[in-house]
Chain A
Amino acid sequence: AQTVTQSQPEMSVQEAETVTLSCTYDTSESDYYLFWYKQPPSRQMILVIRQEAYKQQNATENRFSVNFQKAAKSFSLKISDSQLGDAAMYFCAYRSPNTGGFKTIFGAGTRLFVKA
């Protein structure tokens, strides 16, 4: 069965600095998608960034980028120039179109604190 592991329950970063959130996953599939979702306090979860496993190039969305290491099954999220609004729970997630239907598997989450 596929699993997603986020080993950092909490992280903190100074405003304007860079922080990296870690995620590892386990799968025997070769075709899958990886996601980072953000859940701000008392607000709905939204997609931050998505990576297709067949693409070697790391995905980037403005200040958010990933380091996707397929062989190592690692998918970390880098947030550059951190802002107060980045404070949230971040969830790493995995989905394979080949197994489990459309089920998305989530990690336990990392709570990010941003210090002014």
Chain B
Amino acid sequence: DVKVTQSSRYLVKRTGEKVFLECVQDMDHENMFWYRQDPGLGLRLIYFSYDVKMKEKGDIPEGYSVSREKKERFSLILESASTNQTSMYLCASSLYSNTGELFFGEGSRLTVL
């Protein structure tokens, strides 16, 4: 089975702190994604990566950056956390194919005080 692991299930940070959310997948998937999930808004794409060191902005990249130094690892970085970034963050991966099924991690719930 595909396993996507997010390093932290729950985080509490203060405004202005730098936050790292880590995601690792074990199925050699080319594509990796970071989504933000908010009630009533569904999932919105922050960034995605289709190869090592490659990244593309999603729909809401402002205030975020990403890093993909190794194929299996995709990190989301909040350079200076703000209260409006309090949310659930979901990492996902998929094969480089047209079928497009996403495999998700369990999510990281971030609270910024």
- The chain A residues found within 8 Å of chain B, CB to CB, are 4, 6, 9, 33, 35, 37, 42-47, 50, 91, 95, 97, 101-104, 106-109
CB distance from A88 to the nearest CB of B (A): 13
B48 touches A101 (CB 8 A): yes
Our count of residue pairs bridging A and B at CB distance below 8 angstroms stands at 54
Residue of B nearest to A33 (CB): B100
Q: Does B90 contact A (CB under 8 A)?
A: yes
Instruction: Choose from A44, A50, A102, A108 the contact partner of B42 (Cβ within 8 Å).
Output: A108
B106 touches A103 (CB 8 A): no
Residues of B within 8 A of A46 (CB): 104
Selected A-B contacts with CB under 8 Å, 19 pairs: A9-B40, A33-B98, A35-B101, A44-B104, A44-B105, A44-B106, A44-B107, A45-B90, A47-B101, A50-B101, A91-B42, A101-B48, A102-B31, A102-B96, A102-B100, A103-B58, A104-B102, A106-B35, A108-B41
Interface size class of B (residues with CB under 8 A): 20 to 34
A97 touches B105 (CB 8 A): no
The 8 closest A-B pairs by CB, nearest first: A106-B43, A45-B104, A106-B42, A108-B42, A95-B100, A97-B98, A44-B106, A44-B104
Q: A6-B42, A95-B100, A106-B42 are in contact. List 5 more A-B contacts (CB 8 A).
A: A44-B105, A46-B104, A50-B101, A101-B50, A106-B43
Instruction: Choose from A45, A91, A97 the contact partner of B100 (Cβ within 8 Å).
Output: A97
CA distance A43 to B90 in the complex (A): 11
A102 touches B94 (CB 8 A): yes
B94 touches A43 (CB 8 A): no
Chain B 82-113 near chain A by CB (<8 Å), digits 1 or 0: 00000000100010101111101111000000
Q: Does B78 contact A (CB under 8 A)?
A: no
